[in-house]
Amino acid sequence: MITLKEAMALPKEEIAALKQDLRQKIEAKKDLGAYVEQLTGSEIAEFGEGVPIAVKDNIQVKGWNVTSASNILQGYVAPYNATVIDKMLANGLAPFGRTNMDEFAMGSSTETSFYGKTRNPHNPDRVPGGSSGGSAAAVAGGIAIAALGSDTGGSIRQPAAFCGCVGMKPTYGKVSRYGLGAYSSSLDQIGPITQNVEDAAILYDIIAGHEPKDSTSVNIPHKKVSDKIDPNRKLTIAVIDNYMEEAGEEVRNAILNAIKALEDAGHKIVHKNMINSKYDVATYYIIATAEASTNLSRYDGVRYGNRAPSENLKEMYLKTRSEGFGEEVKRRILLGTFVLSSGYYDAYYIKAQKARHLIKAQFESIFEEADLIFMPVSPTPAFAFGSKKDPLEMYLSDIYTIAVNLAGLPAISLPVGTSSDGLPIGAQFVAKAFDEQTLFDGASSLENILK
C-alpha cells in the first residue's frame, strides 16, 4: 500500500482513483473484519475530500453512524466533527471507513465489539489486539493508508504490535479529545496507526494542537516534528531489566536483539528497574473503571442511540442499559461504581491516585538520566480468539502499556521481530512529556537499523 507521505504528494485527480482502489481491496478482504462496514455489509463511510484515512468507531465524523462498537449507540448519528477530523480535513486528509474496536474501547483483543471479530492479517485465528484492532488490522492488511486509534491503556500500541505496524500515543493533552467517545478522560488520547515511523509523525503533526473547546488540551503552540526527524541522533536509552522477566521468551529475545542493535548503532544503554507492573494494573483498572462508570452514565436511552421500549422512566433506564451494554462494559461500570462508592472511595480510588503519582515519579527519575525508555508492548505476540476467557487474564496482558497512560507520557510501538510461527513482535519507546521529537528520532533510528 502507498504510504501516507506518498499519498499526500499525489495530484488531487488521483485521489479518487486511490479511493476506488481502496474500496475494491476492502471488499476483497472482507473476512478481515477490520472495518465495521465489512462486518455489516454496508458502504464505506466517507466525509469530504482528501487522502483517505480510516477512523476508529469512537471518533465523531459529522453525519456518520459513530457507535464505539456498542449496541447502545446503534442509530446514533454524529452531529459534528471531532477536532482531529477537522484538522485532517484542513490538511488534505479525509475520513474513510469506520474501524472495528472493543466496545467503548474496553479490551485488548477487539473481541468485545458488537459487530463481531476482526482477524489478525498475519493469522486469521489470532486476535488483532485491541481496542483499536480494526485500525491496526486495516493498516497491516493493506486496506488503509493510515488510521486513527485511541489509547487509554495501550489500545494503539498493542494492536499495532500484534499486527506489525507502527502505533503512536501522544503526550496527554497534545491531541484534543473533543469528539472522542470518552472511556477514561484522564487517560484517553487519539493517535496514529501507520505503516512506518515517518507517517506516524506526519499524521501526529496534523492532529496535534490546542483546542479551546477541550479543557484538557494544552495551550502551547505545536512544533512540527515530522520534518525534523533525525535517525542519527545518539540517545541515552533506558531499558527496564525487571520487565524482561515477565515477557515470554520470544518477546524477550526480540527485545534483547533490538537493544543490542541500538547499542551497536551508538546509542548509550542504561539499565533500570520499575515498580512491579502488578501495581500498574491495579491502579489503572481502578482509575479507568471509575472514570468509565461516570462517562457511560450519559447512555440512558434519553439522549443517544438505542432506547428500549418501556412502561416508565425507571424501566427505560434499566432495560436500555441492560440490553445496550455488553458484558465487559457492564463489568467495568460495576467495578467503577464500586470503587467510587462512599465506603470504598478512600480504600481504592484515593489509593489508586497516590499510586498513580508514584508511577509518574518513577518515570521522571528515569528521565533524569535517559532520553528514552525502551520496553516490550505485550508479554506475548497475538493470542488466539477466546484464549483469555478470564477477564483478569486479559487485564494482565496490558502490563507494559498502561503505566505510560497513568503518567501521561508519549510512546510509540514499532515492529522489532517475528515469532517462530510468523507473528509480529513489537516494542515501544517512551519519552518525556511533550518530547515527541526525541520519540520519533529514536523510533526512526531503530526502524532504520532493523530494515
Residues designated as active site: 56, 131, 155
Our finding on whether 398 is near ligand GLN (CB under 6 A) is yes
H or E, element range at 430: strand 424-431
Supply the DSSP string of 307-355, one letter for each residue: ----SSHHHHHHHHHHHHS-HHHHHHHHHHHHHHSTTTIIIIIIHHHHH
Interface with ligand GLN, residue 409, by CB under 6 A: no
Q: What mask of x and - would describe binding to ligand GLN in positions 124 to 153, judged by CB under 6 A?
A: -------x-------------------xxx
161 scored as a contact of ligand GLN (CB under 6 A): no
* Residue 105 interacting with ligand GLN (CB under 6 A): yes
Where do runs of H (alpha helix) occur along 132-229? 133-140, 157-163, 197-207
Does 38 participate in binding ligand GLN (rule CB under 6 A)? no
Q: Is 291 in the site for ligand GLN (CB under 6 A)?
A: no
155 interacts with ligand GLN by CB under 6 A: yes
For ligand GLN, which is the closer residue by CB, 50 or 426?
426
Whether 156 and 404 have beta carbons less than 8 Å apart is answered as no
Residue 108, interface with ligand GLN (CB under 6 A)?
yes
Which of 199, 143, 120, 148 shows the shortest CA–CA distance to 1? 143
Q: How far is the CB of 396 from ligand GLN (least distance, A)?
A: 10
CB 381 within 8 A of CB 419: yes
Q: Does 197 bind ligand GLN (CB under 6 A)?
A: no
With contacts defined by CB under 6 A, name the span among 7-15, 17-25, 100-108, 120-128 that binds ligand GLN.
100-108
| Nearer Cβ to ligand GLN (47/104) | 104
How far apart are the C-alpha atoms of 102 and 70, rounded to whole Å? 9
The angle formed by the CA atoms of residues 294, 300 and 306, to the nearest 5 degrees, is 130
Query: Least CB distance from residue 158 to ligand GLN, whole Å?
Result: 7
Q: How many residues bind ligand GLN (CB under 6 A)?
A: 13
For every residue of 217-272, DSSP letters joined together read: S--SPPPP-TTS--TT---EEEEEHHHHHHS-HHHHHHHHHHHHHHHHTTPEEEEE
Q: Which lies closer to ligand GLN via its Cβ, residue 378 or residue 438?
A: 378
**Nearer CB in complex with ligand GLN: 151/436:** 151
Report if residue 410 touches ligand GLN, rule: CB under 6 A: no
Residues in the chain: 451
Q: Which is nearer to ligand GLN, 47 or 162 (CB)?
A: 162
Instruction: Work out whether 106 is an interface residue with ligand GLN (CB under 6 A).
Output: yes
* CA atoms 232, 140, 402, 71: torsion sign: positive
Of 69 and 288, the one with the shorter C-beta distance to ligand GLN is 288
Please say which residue, 151 or 211, places its beta carbon nearer to ligand GLN. 151
Q: Give the CB-side neighbour count of residue 84, counting CA atoms within 13 A.
A: 33
Interatomic CA distance for residues 435 and 234, integer angstroms: 15
Instruction: Find out whether 216 and 177 touch, Cβ atoms under 8 Å.
Output: yes
111 binds ligand GLN (CB under 6 A): no
- The CB-of-108 to ligand GLN minimum distance in angstroms stands at 4
CB of 288: closest distance to ligand GLN in angstroms?
A: 5
Peptide bond into 217 cis (omega under 30): no
171-190: which residues touch ligand GLN (CB under 6 A)? 183
Structure-block grid coordinates of residue 220: 502551547
CB of 436 to ligand GLN, least distance (A): 19
Is residue 159 involved in binding ligand GLN (CB under 6 A)? no
Residue nearest to ligand GLN (CB): 155
**How far is residue 436's CA from residue 430's CA, in Å, rounded to a whole number?**
9
- Residues in touch with ligand GLN (CB under 6 A): 105-108, 131, 151-155, 183, 288, 398
